[in-house]
Amino acid sequence: MGAPHELLDLVIFGGNGYTGRLAVHQMAVVMSQHPGVRWGVAGRSRGKLEAVLREAKEKGVDTSDVAILLADVDDADSLSRLCRSCRLVVNCCGPYARYGEWVVAAAVAEGCHHVDVSAENHFTRLIESRYDAAARKAGVFVITSCGLSSVPVDVGVTYLEQNFQGTLSYVDSYLTTHPTAVSVLRGWRHGVIRYSSWESMIHGMAQKKDPEEDHTLPQKRR
Q: What are phi and psi of 74, to 5 degrees?
A: -85, 0
Q: What are phi and psi of 68, to 5 degrees?
A: -120, 125
Buried b (16+ CB within 10 A) or exposed e, 124-139: bbbbeebbeeebeebe
Contact call for residues 143 and 117 (beta carbons, < 8 A)? no
Q: What is the Cα–Cα distance from 68 to 5, expressed in whole angstroms?
A: 11
Look at the chain and count its residues. Answer: 222
Greatest alpha-carbon span in the chain: 56
Q: Which residues, including other chains, have CB under 8 Å from residue 36's CB and lie 6 or more apart?
A: none
Of the segments 17-21, 40-44, 90-94, 173-177, which one has the largest average pLDDT value?
Answer: 40-44
What confidence score (pLDDT) does residue 143 get? 94
Q: Is the dihedral of CA 155, 161, 165, 167 positive or negative?
A: positive
Convert the pLDDT of each residue in 103-138 to its tens digit.
Answer: 999 999 999 999 998 878 888 889 999 999 999 999
Convert the pLDDT of each residue in 151-192 to its tens digit.
Answer: 788 888 889 999 998 888 888 877 676 655 555 445 555 555
Query: Band of the pLDDT at 202, cuts 50, 70, 90?
Result: low
Q: Which residues, including other chains, have CB under 8 Å from residue 14's CB and lie 6 or more apart?
A: 20, 42, 43, 91, 92, 93, 94
Contact call for residues 134 and 108 (beta carbons, < 8 A)? yes
User: Which percentage of the chain shows pLDDT scores above 90?
Assistant: 51
Domains present along the chain, CATH in parentheses: 8-143 (3.40.50.720), 149-174 (no CATH)
Q: What is the mean pLDDT of the chain?
A: 83
